């Protein structure tokens, strides 16, 4: 009964309710995905994406179904999307002769133009990140530029792990909104 109250509060935008739901269901969703993927990083990413999607669409949640069942269904779809993306990047097999021909033709080192574009894109991304509030900038910096784990970030910031997860979730969402608005 308690969970239903938190779901209703979350539907009204109550941040404490979102935190409760994340804390309450994190291990279940993460554990489910860890069994499926056998990869901690993928499981964390899928779980965060799951909660992000669930919280964005919480108004559509049907209370006739268990909330954890709804979350697991979202997690399965996120996982399938991730597998599709990975599958689309798999290369076709080629013979050694074809490989040598391609090697002789293609220079895989980035050109000066490629380097410039990469620098400009990174520069734009950093400008977008600077538009976030400082505490969101910090978690983005620690996670994606210093490649720290969620636990390491929690220890560095001296904050509970759930706070770090929520901050990253919000930071990514806000950053996506900023980038979208600048297109």
Q: Which of 16-30, 68-82, 95-109, 123-137 is least confident? A: 95-109
Three-state SS sequence of the chain: CHHHHHHHHHHCCCHHHHHHHHHHHHHHHHHHHHHHHCCHHHHHHHHHHHHHHHHHCHHHCCCCCCHHHHHHHHHHHHHHHHHHHHHHCCCCCCCHHHHHHHHHHCCCCCCHHHHHHHHHHHHHHHHHHHCCCHHHHHHHHHHHHCCCCHHHHHHHHCCCHHHHHHHHHHHHHHHHHHHHHCC
pTM score of the predicted model? 0.56
| pLDDT for the residue numbered 106 | 45
Q: Write the pLDDT tens digit of every residue in 32-71.
A: 999 999 888 889 889 999 998 999 899 999 888 899 999 9
């Amino acid at each position: 009964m308690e969970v239903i109250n938190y779901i209703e509060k979350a539907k009204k935008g109550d941040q404490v309710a979102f935190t409760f739901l994340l804390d309450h269901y994190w291990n279940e969703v993460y554990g489910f995905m860890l069994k499926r993927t056998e990869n901690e990083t993928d499981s964390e990413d899928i779980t965060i994406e799951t909660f992000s999607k669930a919280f964005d669409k919480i108004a559509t949640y049907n209370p006739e179904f268990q909330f954890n069942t709804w979350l697991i269904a979202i997690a399965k779809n996120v996982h399938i999307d991730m597998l599709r993306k990975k599958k689309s990047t798999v290369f076709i097999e080629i013979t050694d002769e074809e490989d040598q021909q391609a090697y002789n033709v293609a220079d895989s080192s980035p050109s000066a133009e490629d380097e410039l574009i990469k620098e400009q894109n990174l520069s734009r991304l950093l400008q977008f990140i600077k538009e976030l509030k400082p505490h969101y900038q910090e978690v983005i910096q620690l996670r994606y530029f210093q490649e720290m784990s969620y636990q390491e970030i929690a220890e560095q910031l001296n904050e509970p792990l759930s706070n770090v997860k929520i901050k990253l979730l919000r930071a990514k969402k806000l950053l996506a909104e900023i980038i979208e608005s600048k297109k």
